[in-house]
């Protein structure tokens, strides 16, 4: 089954590669809100998931949506797992037309022209990760990977974004993201938007990280200064 899924992805990617880049990595675009204000649009595409997020130039969060995806020729299908603006979309499949160009691609009917900013490097954590464990006090609490309430973290080679949501109730709990680096054994996040607390925008947070048997062990201090120890799994 895994081989068939990979083959489907490779066939879809082939048409895009003929005239542009692989869809994997970090992407950026510009948009405007109903008042004509310029918005930044960030997209992270991993082998399994995509997230698209709108936020203004000062870092105020506007909206986000995403989920698992497939590409058939020029048809991009997004299986919506979270949508901060329209929760009723959760569980549906949205289809878009992807038109490659010299710098990236145009996505219809969203009307966004994305430019690639990385193809999965230089960061070492490219992929879609789900939180599967977190220390509370001295106790490690496990989180089943198939539970309804989930926290995902999607990373390209330069960008990261976490999203907390519930696929059954369709609730959206929060998100934050920006750029990251993995240098000298440190994982550092530079926050560009944060839906729960605008004051965290501009902060840089350094953590220790280690990859063990495909799991990402993550520890340090949160933006509130509280110690955290988390396990993330693909």
| pLDDT at residue 137, as a whole number | 78
Q: Which two tokens stand for residue 110?
A: 């969203």
| Average pLDDT of the residues in 182-195 | 95
- The pLDDT score that the predictor gives to residue 73 is 85
Phi-psi region of 10 (alpha: psi -120 to 50; beta: other; left: phi over 0): alpha
pTM for the model: 0.89
**d(Cα 13, Cα 23) in Å, to the nearest integer?**
7
What pLDDT was estimated at residue 224? 79
- Tokens representing 188? 């550092």
**Domains and their CATH numbers in the chain:** 2-118 (2.40.128.280), 127-233 (2.40.128.490)
Question: Is the separation of the CB atoms in 156 and 123 below 8 Å?
Answer: yes
Report helix, strand or coil for 139: strand
Confidence at 21, pLDDT banded by 50, 70, 90: low
Is the pLDDT at 202 greater than 80? The verdict is yes
- pLDDT of 113 reads 96
In terms of phi and psi (left: phi > 0; alpha: psi -120 to 50; beta: otherwise), the region of 195 is alpha
Q: Quick check: 222 pLDDT over 90? A: no
C-alpha 27/C-alpha 45 separation (Å) is 8
CA-based diameter of the chain, in Å? 53
Task: Give the residue-averaged pLDDT of 62-85.
Answer: 95
- Give the integer Cα–Cα distance in Å for 226 and 13: 42
Q: Is the pLDDT score of 127 beyond 80?
A: yes
């Amino acid at each position: 089954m895994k081989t068939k899924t990979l083959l489907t992805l490779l066939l879809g990617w082939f048409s895009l590669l003929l005239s542009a880049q692989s869809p994997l990595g970090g992407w950026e675009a510009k948009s405007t809100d109903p008042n004509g204000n310029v918005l930044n649009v960030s997209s992270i595409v991993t082998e399994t998931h995509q997230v698209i997020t709108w936020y203004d130039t000062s870092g105020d969060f506007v909206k986000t949506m995403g989920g698992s995806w497939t590409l058939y020729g020029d048809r991009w299908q997004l299986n919506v797992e979270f949508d901060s603006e329209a929760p009723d979309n959760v569980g549906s499949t949205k289809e878009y037309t992807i038109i490659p160009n010299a710098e990236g691609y145009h996505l219809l009917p969203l009307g966004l022209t994305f430019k690639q900013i990385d193809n999965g490097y230089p960061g070492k954590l490219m992929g879609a990760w789900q939180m599967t464990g977190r220390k509370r006090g001295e106790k490690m609490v496990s989180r089943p990977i198939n539970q309804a309430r989930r926290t995902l973290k999607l990373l390209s080679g330069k960008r990261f974004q976490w999203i907390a949501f519930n696929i059954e109730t369709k609730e959206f709990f929060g998100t934050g993201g920006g750029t990251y680096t993995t240098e000298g054994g440190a994982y550092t996040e530079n926050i560009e938007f944060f839906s729960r607390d605008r004051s965290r925008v501009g902060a840089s947070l350094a953590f220790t990280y280690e990859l063990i048997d495909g799991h990402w062990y993550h520890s340090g201090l949160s933006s509130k200064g509280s110690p955290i120890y988390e396990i993330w799994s693909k």
